[in-house]
Each structure stands twice: as structure tokens, then as C-alpha cells.
A and B are shown apart, each in its own frame.
Chain A
Amino acid sequence: MKGKMKDEILYDHNHDGIDRRGFLKCMAWAGTGALCVMSGGVLKSYSLSRLPEMSAKEALGELSFVQISDSHMGFNKPANPDVAGTLKAAVDKINALAAAPEFMLHTGDISHLSKPEEFDTVDQILKSAKPKDVFYVPGEHDVLNDEGKQFLERYGKGSKGAGWHSFDKEGAHFIGLVNVMNLKAGGLGTLGHEQLEWLEDDVKHLKHSTPIVVFAHIPLWSVYPEWGWGTEDSAQALGYLKKFGSVTVLNGHIHQTLQKVEGNVTFHTAASTAFPQPEPGKAPSPGPMKVPAEQLKSVLGITDVNYVQGQHALAVVDSTLA
């Protein structure tokens, strides 16, 4: 499988707030996480699979951080009986960076069954990562049986509600949202009234030029509602972010990379560190994709995702399918 198909899609955006071409989307298998570099208020992201090739200069922006997702510690079925091993491999890649990222985001499904020992294992593995700070939002697998109490005790220090929170880094404003609680029959992910009110207030006094990074588990856009891949009230949340020139939304949940640029907002889902899931609608259900053992790493590690800054262009998406 040496053949590569490369897609490069340019999206022109003149900061006029008008979504001129609807959206672009591009889907591809990805590696075990993404490195994000903030440079000039624009976020660039790189698949971890190509990080060793990157120079320190390329990797260093005004701010660099790593997103990992869907570790599913405790999962032990095909195609990955060793999810601890693949999470360690992700950490090794992070540690091989020429310049250590400042911190990590984990976009949920840390554990598979919300068992204490599963969280313990992840904590232990992540301790060996060079970036020491990790910011978490829960996935639905992290809040089983106890309404998220354990998650909050472990990772929710200083957060509001079910774990939502915000913080500032190098002039960028980061917002962690929780959309996996109180899910209703037949519905999608939900943020809920209380969290939306908090969000509106949280961004009210920020300058329009402040780069915004939102991270949450379930995609905040309608990826594939038939499989529950979307969030009921995400439009309201994104409405509060319309005034900002640069908004980057980082999600997990669907175990594959998917990008979309819509107006001033760039959406990006990260791959899982545990197992792949099928493309939307390409299987009878969104259950784990079974691939031969020798193919697992290649399935998890073959795609580049880049946001490239150009003149007046918010983003270029460059994906590779091998």
C-alpha cells in the first residue's frame, strides 16, 4: 500500500463572515492523534505519524499542543487487543517531537467502561509524555453508571457542571465542552441550557480577534445523525462564536479524521488511539472495524491533516489516504 492519494482543498475566506462555498469536507484515516500549532492566530494541525519528519521550527508556533482521543482503555477485542500499547505508541510519537508541545487535550472516551483501573492505566501512560498538563472532556464511556461523578473527581478540578471549562494560553481561548450527558432517546449529543448559558457568558467579553479553540467529545456538527454523530444544540453554541475571526473545533468520538471548514470555523475530528470505526453509513453499524493485526498500525497511522495558512485563506486541508 505504498500508493498515496493526496487531496488538497483550498478554502478562501476573507474574514467577511460569509460562508461562500458552503463547506468543504475531506475524510481520511488518521494516526493516533494530532499536533496543533497556533501561529499568527491560525491553527495548523499535523498527524502524529509525520511528526518525526518535522523540524523544530515547523513544530514551534506561538503555541503548540497535542490532541489525543478515544483511548478506550479496557477495550480488548478485535482489531486491538492492546489499547495500552497503542496509547504508549502515541505518547512515544509525542515525545519524539523536536519541540515538546506545551500541553495535551484528551477529547474523551479515556476509558471503555468507566472502571477506575482503566483511568489509572491511562493516567500512568500519559505520565510518560513530555507535556505534563492534560485537559480533558468526557466521552460517553467515561460517565457510565455514575453520571460522571468519577470523571469529575479525577479530571474536573475547577470545571463547571459536568466538566465544562475554559482557559487561556498565549492569547488563545480554549473551551472544553461536555455533550455526552443526559442523552435522550432517539437523540444526538447534547450540551444543554446551563452549559450554553455559561458559554455565552464565557466568550462575551473576548475580543473578536481572539483565536478560539473548542474541544468536546461528540462532533459539534452533523457528521452522520443516523449514527448519533452530531450534537442537538451545537448550532446555538456556534452562534455565540460567530463574532470571532478564527474558531477551531476539535472532536473525537467517531474514530477517524474528518475535516470541515464553514465560514470562520474549522472542524476537525481526531482518530482514536484504540480502534477504527467505519466511514459514516459504510457499515451496518458504527461498531469497531476489524482489520488484520498487521494492518492495525497502518490504519491508525497513515494520514496527514494540515491546516495551512495562506493569504486571506483560513485553511487548506491536505489529506492522504494510503
Chain B
Amino acid sequence: MRRSVSIAVLTVTLVIGIGTITIGQNSLLAGAQQKPETTEVKIDNFSFGPETLTIPVGTTVTWTNRDDIPHTVVSTDGVFKSKVLDTDEKFSFTFSKAGTYAYFCSIHPKMTGKVVVQ
């Protein structure tokens, strides 16, 4: 599972830079501490679903873009940032610290969501 999460991150962002590779390492670290769980957020009709997601610490969240238009998943506080996701592309991030993480689509900033990590 840990392995597939990392691969997912790297696959989505083949041409990326250092930022996302760091995210990949984060997921490995988080996974080493406790058994990771995964949860999905669907991007549909210019909205994140569920808009607010509550998860335990250590959970990996995968966003999938199901729109005909590209979107991004960008943390308001700069904690995580996806590359642009075309139709059916995915982005994953593992939340290793409790807190509330607001995020939005940087292309369509009216699209906002929240991950509550407990």
C-alpha cells in the first residue's frame, strides 16, 4: 500500500520537481509510523466531493479529476500542491499531522475544500 501510494504520486507528476517528490517521502514516513488508510475525493462539476473530509492521522487522500476540464489541488497554506490534473488524473497526499487543511483549485479558485485530520 505504501508503495502504491508513492507510485501514484510519482505517476501523476512525472515531470515534476522537487516539491512533489518531497510529498512522496512524506507519505513513506507517515506510513512507517502507522498503518495508512486511503480515502478518495472526487472532482466533479467544478467541485470537490466531499467538500469537507474528516480522516484520522496517517490517511492518504487521493483526488481524482472527473471533469472535462483540468483542475488542481492546492493547499491554502502551501502544505501540498498538485500539478495540473487533466481528466481522470489523480493526486495523493498523506496527512501525518492533525489539523484542518483548506485547499482550492488554483485554476478555478471558487472551488474550495477542506480536510480535517484528527
Contact = CB atoms under 8 A, between A and B. Distances in A.
A229 B65 CA distance: 21
Most buried by A among B67, B102, B104, B110: B110
- Looking at chain A's contact residues, the main secondary structure is loop
A185 B70 contact: no
B46 A287 contact: yes
B107 A141 contact: yes
B109 A114 contact: no
Interface in A126-166: 140-141, 144-145
- Looking at chain B's contact residues, the main secondary structure is loop
Contact of A141 (B46, B67, B70, B110): B70
Contacts of B112: 185-186
Nearest to A183: B109
A284 B109 contact: no
Contacts of B30: none
A284 B45 contact: yes
- A contact residues, range: 20 to 34
Interface string A93-137: 000000000000000000011100000000000000000000000
Contacts of A185: 76, 102-104, 109, 112
B16 to A, nearest CB: 8
A228 B84 contact: no
Interface string B80-92: 0001101100000
A55 interface: no
Contacts of B46: 227, 285-287
A284 B69 CA distance: 14
A208 interface: no
A280 interface: no
Contacts of A192: none
B109 A228 contact: yes
B107 A144 contact: yes
A72 B84 CA distance: 15
A285 B47 contact: yes
B108 interface: yes
A78 B69 CA distance: 11
A185 B70 CA distance: 17
B51 interface: no
Nearest to A114: B84
The 7 closest A-B pairs by CB, nearest first: A185-B104, A285-B46, A285-B45, A228-B110, A183-B109, A144-B84, A77-B68
Given A78-B68, A145-B84, A287-B46, 11 more contacts: A113-B84, A183-B106, A185-B103, A185-B112, A186-B110, A186-B112, A188-B109, A227-B46, A287-B67, A287-B69, A288-B68
Interface of A: 77-78, 112-114, 140-141, 144-145, 183-188, 226-228, 284-288
